[in-house]
Amino acid sequence: MSNPQVQAIDGPLTSTATFLILTVAPGAESTVASVLGSISGLSKNVAIRDAGAGLSVTVGIGARVWDAVTKLPRPAELHEFKELKGATHTAPSTPGDLLIHIRAERRDMVYEFERLLLDQLGAAVKVQDETTGFRYFDARDLLGFIDGTANPIGQALDASVLVAAGDDAGAGAAAVGGSYVTTQKYLHNLGAWNKLKTEDQEAAIGRTKIDNVELADQADDAQKPHKQLATIVDDQGVEHDILRDNMPFGAPGKGEYGTYFIGYSRKLWVTEEMLRRMFIGVPEGKHDRILDFSTPVTGSVFFVPSAEVLAKIGS
């Protein structure tokens, strides 16, 4: 039976999470494959120490190493993050072959799993970024707004997030039950944001700040709120959602305040279209106002195979 702590994409937001972005050293693909294939055992070793702490681990594999690490057909939409250059703001594409998303209610459990994993991977990987986030009161981001409200729930969650049989004829069973995941680490200019009046902040997000109520959409030629730009409706009128497990992170002593964006989707184009609308703008040039106060410093795309597929990697 598969281990429910592994590839638990639909797991709840926890009070802490670490996002590790790694690159694979040349020639180390088979070492990486055997460590990833045995991650279920490694997570059990830690999870048992406090079953109530909800440890879960999600592993994503990037396009550059997918073939060599998994030896499986490549999911149809998997490619490296495409840089987006708007008139005012840019979403950079940065190195990343593996994503390890570790969640738990206890910081020590997350630390312990990360320590053991990196110990096993050793020189086979290089850490490109390590960010640890925390829950900020009632799941607010550091801009002060509740983040995650419009996430799909129940049956809509699997339908939005997991690749279904028939979605990807090329990769077939290797893709089914998996998910595309996009990550971006944003740094906020909190000083400038906090100088805005609350009504202006609310207009930028598209919701009220205290009680989280949606505001009316803006007309076609106006600069639209984040919520409206991130809503994707196709030509048939069908809305496409993604699952966001964003976490705030920060170190006031260093003047660092951020949001770690992580979006899981059944179809990568949905997340890409959200990014295009935010950075290029709708109409073009009218970008997302949260970007005037939030700068992405990383950008990567991965495919998260199902737990069953992951367990067979490297065997």
Whole-angstrom Cα distance, residue 109 to residue 315? Answer: 27
Is-catalytic flag, 220?
A: no
Binding of residue 266 to ligand HEM (CB under 6 A)? no
Binding of residue 9 to ligand HEM (CB under 6 A)? no
User: Which of 5, 18, 179, 184 lies at the binding interface for ligand HEM (CB under 6 A)?
Assistant: 184
| Contact window for ligand HEM (CB under 6 A) among 103-111, 119-127, 270-278, 305-313 | 270-278
User: Which of 275, 282, 304, 311 lies at the binding interface for ligand HEM (CB under 6 A)?
Assistant: 275
Those residues with Cβ within 8 angstroms of residue 73's Cβ, 6 or more apart along the chain or in another chain:
170, 171, 172, 174, 175
- Integer CA distances (angstroms), 244 to 12, 23, 230, 271, in order: 11, 23, 12, 10
Please say which residue, 250 or 314, places its beta carbon nearer to ligand HEM. 250
Binding of residue 203 to ligand HEM (CB under 6 A)? no
Q: For the segment 137-166, give every residue that binds ligand HEM (CB under 6 A).
A: 141, 143, 145-150
Tell me the two tokens of residue 51. 């079953």
Please say which residue, 186 or 249, places its beta carbon nearer to ligand HEM. 186
Tell me the two tokens of residue 31. 């070492």
Binding of residue 290 to ligand HEM (CB under 6 A)? yes
* Residue pointed to by tokens 């992405």: 296
- Integer CA distances (angstroms), 25 to 64, 122, 271, 300, in order: 12, 10, 29, 17
50, with CB counted inside 10 A (0-12, 13-18, 19+), is middle
Strand residue runs (E) in 200-272: 232-233, 239-240, 243-244, 247-251, 256-265
User: Which is catalytic among the residues 10, 97, 147, 288?
Assistant: 147
Minimum CB separation from ligand HEM for residue 83, in Å? 14
The catalytic site residues sit at 147
Contact positions toward ligand HEM, by CB under 6 A?
A: 141, 143, 145-150, 184, 186, 205, 207, 226-227, 230-231, 242, 244, 259, 261, 263, 271, 274-275, 290, 294
